[in-house]
Amino acid sequence: MDHTPRSPASANATRMVDVLVPVALDQTYSYKVPRGMELKAGDLVGVPLGPREVLAVVWAENANPDPRLHNRLKDVSEKLDIPPLKPELRSVVDWIANYTLSPRGMVLRMCLRMGENLGPERARPGVRLVGDPPKRLTPARQRLIAMLSDRLLHGKSEAAKEAGVSAGVIDGLVDEGTLTVEPMPPPPPPPAPDPDFGRPDFTPLQRTAVDTMRALAANGTFHVALLDGVTGSGKTEVYFEAVAEAIRRGKQSLILMPEIALTGQFLDRFAQRFGVRPIEWHSELTPRTRARNWAAISAGTAPVVVGARSALFLPYANLGLIVVDEEHDQAYKQDDGVHYHARDMAVVRAHIAKIPVVLASATPSVESEVNARKNRYQRIALPSRFGGQHMPHIEAIDLRREPPARGRFISPRLAGEIKTAIERREQALLFLNRRGYAPLTLCRACGHRFACTICDAWLVDHRFRQRLVCHHCGFSMPRPHICPNCSAEESLVAVGPGVERLQEEAAALFPGARTMVLSSDLITSIETMRSELAEIAEGRVDIIIGTQLVAKGHNFPRLNLVGVVDADLGLSNGDPRAAERTWQLLNQVIGRAGREQGRGVGYLQTHQPDHPVMKALIACDREAFYDSEIDLRERTLYPPFGRLASLIISAGDRPSAEGFGRRLVALAPRDERVVVLGPAEAPLAVIKGRYRFRMLVKSARGFDLSDYLRNWLAVCPKPKGNLKLEVDVDPQSFL
């Protein structure tokens, strides 16, 4: 690692800096700057902290150091040869920490995901054939020398793998002078995206949106645009034109997506438009690739980054545009560590950096819809599908009148429509937002129900894995054959459907059909998902059975029929956003149909065909849905007309959690603009053996709720022992 050499500090050296360490601490620490080392705010440094040497960032120069501290302070150890964090990113860290009540060090840690991998990439060893081969050769040596006979430089590990030999075989030939070891040259930077490579033809309506997008990117000032287009309207191709304009102007672009939507299909579309794939940023990158991508982003040699929510915190050298695709998606909310919503923080980062941000969705969040109606955001509308395709026709199947057969979950009418679709060589999708085989297993003899031993939740039957699994803590156990309560044999039954059970039913109803389950617990990696989506796109699947994973912006060109097995699921879970999320999810799922081959059709199996969500879906009347939902939010002062924060208290025993919650409520500052509800036992009362209580804090929209919470918690006792307190500003989950 290159760094400025450390010089011995002289006795009269008084220059100091305050550094922020990426750990769960809010304060900065002061260090002396050795003579000969030049430091400024944003520089990455190594400093001693206790017995360890840690990475830190210079947050400020200490212009007025206390002389009494001089002999007590330690020196900065080294200055890393890495571009400094820009003032804009440091301001983002401070803003998010203040808003979410998180330690600044925890927010900074999200900007420095590389840890010890920071710095220039180490050269990999290579081997080359330089001398004459020994007279006596083992088969392994013969294979290796034959592979290196071109006398070119080959990577050592790659040569060993290709020749099928161990590293020891290579080392032996190096010792004998037959081979030499040389450093491999650094890999060439990836070719830059070409903004003029694959410019598409646009419809007149799209052209208007494209012109607006280009002007937005060219203007280069803070501006929020809501790209509001129906499924299949070409939103991606339209915002690509904003990216192209940013590239022409030498600016970096960030495209945020829900991680599960980072598919090969999207990357291929990007390559078709720009000639190359973008730089990726998500949880499955190898350490080497993460280090290489981080370095390219901070150096400004990565013009376009496509990533999950964590990509928002990368140290871009010259960021000029942010796009948040599927802006309504719940996956943008992080519910552990720093509780933040990436969509909202993208707007914050764009505001601080004075750059445009585009929010794209076919089903905008109520918050974004209200902002567009109030002209805080510019709405760019794409109300029709590309190529003249019609939106799917939607019908309700009233399960009160057309129920499935006993023990079945697919109604006769839906089964008949699927059969017809398969006969026409079209694909069908069965949607059920429930993983596994069945949500509950019980004993018919004694009524025993299988529950998690450390959570307040039933165990879900997963037949593919032959295990009962808790979806909240991960506990699992083999599927038993005998009831542990009454010892009855052959008495255990699965209650209710999951996607695995639907596949079993589909196989029985359509024995010749090729089925595939798309569910997050069956997909082991992004590459696995990309492979399965490719199979669907190529027509090697007749019936797709999927959870909400299928609603993540995927394009199924052969899909013409969608059957929602339980459209009511999610409407009655006590979540203030239940209606919005159900409407968005079902709209997105049905929107997968009929994109390229004729008009699609969607069937909603429901016990509530007169529910406002169902009526809005069937009538394709989004304005009616938004009008009613916005009116309800305004009357109840729920977001975006009010503000919410959750306080979640947990402990190893119930009385401790409840008692601590009551002490907190007693100390809440009295303010007529604030309502504190609770503490109440959480809907998921026990997770991982910890008892949970929740408080909900409500205020008016313009009230500084973060400051109120900060002042409140400052006078409260700190949680000790097994007590834990989490603060979630703008919560998305209420479990």
Residues 87-102 have pLDDT tens digits of 999 999 999 999 999 9
Percent with pLDDT over 90 in the chain: 63
Asked whether residue 195 is assigned to any structural domain, the reply reads: no
Asked whether residue 197 is assigned to any structural domain, the reply reads: no
Instruction: Return d(Cα 253, Cα 243) in angstroms, integer.
Output: 6
DSSP strand E in 260-410: where? 279-281, 304-307, 319-325, 333-334, 340-341, 356-361, 378-382, 393-398
Q: pLDDT at residue 72 above 70?
A: yes
Model confidence pLDDT, tens digit, residues 468-523: 888 777 788 898 989 999 888 888 888 888 888 899 999 999 998 999 888 877 77
30 and 162 assigned to the same domain: no
Model confidence pLDDT, tens digit, residues 545-597: 988 888 776 778 889 999 999 999 888 767 889 899 999 999 999 988 886 66
447 and 395 assigned to the same domain: no
Among 579, 604, 631, identify where a domain stops: 631
Q: pLDDT at residue 723 above 80?
A: yes
Model confidence pLDDT, tens digit, residues 644-686: 999 999 999 999 999 999 999 999 999 999 999 989 998 888 8
Q: pLDDT at residue 7 above 50?
A: no
3-class state of residue 344 by DSSP: helix
Beta bridge partners of 431: 546, 564
Asked whether residue 189 is assigned to any structural domain, the reply reads: no
144 and 275 assigned to the same domain: no
Asked whether residue 541 is assigned to any structural domain, the reply reads: yes
pTM score above 0.95: no
User: Which domain range does residue 723 map to?
Assistant: 642-729
530 and 397 assigned to the same domain: yes
Asked whether residue 562 is assigned to any structural domain, the reply reads: yes
- What pLDDT shows up at residue 9? 40
383 and 395 assigned to the same domain: no
Asked whether residue 259 is assigned to any structural domain, the reply reads: yes
- What pLDDT shows up at residue 596? 67
Number of domains in the chain: 6
DSSP strand E in 463-547: where? 467-469, 476-478, 492-495, 515-518, 543-546
Which of 624, 545, 546, 619 has its CA nearest to residue 579?
624
Residue 5 pLDDT grade (very low, low, confident, very high; cuts 50, 70, 90): very low
547 and 604 assigned to the same domain: yes
CATH at 700:
3.30.70.600
CATH at 88:
3.40.1440.60
Among 89, 112, 135, identify where a domain stops: 112
Which ranges of 23-138 would DSSP assign to H, the alpha helix? Answer: 87-100, 104-111
91 and 18 assigned to the same domain: yes
Q: What are residue 381's phi and psi, to 5 degrees?
A: -100, 140
What the block records as the tokens of 568 is 């009511």
Q: Which residue has the tokens 């309560």?
A: 485
362 and 321 assigned to the same domain: yes
Asked whether residue 117 is assigned to any structural domain, the reply reads: no
379 and 399 assigned to the same domain: no
213 and 353 assigned to the same domain: yes
Burial of 292 (0-12, 13-18, 19+ CB in 10 A): buried
518 and 602 assigned to the same domain: yes
Among 112, 137, 160, identify where a domain stops: 112
11 and 101 assigned to the same domain: yes
Largest CA distance in the chain: 93
Asked whether residue 193 is assigned to any structural domain, the reply reads: no
CATH at 557:
3.40.50.300
Residues written for the chain: 735
Instruction: Return d(Cα 414, Cα 405) in angstroms, integer.
Output: 12
DSSP state of 48: E
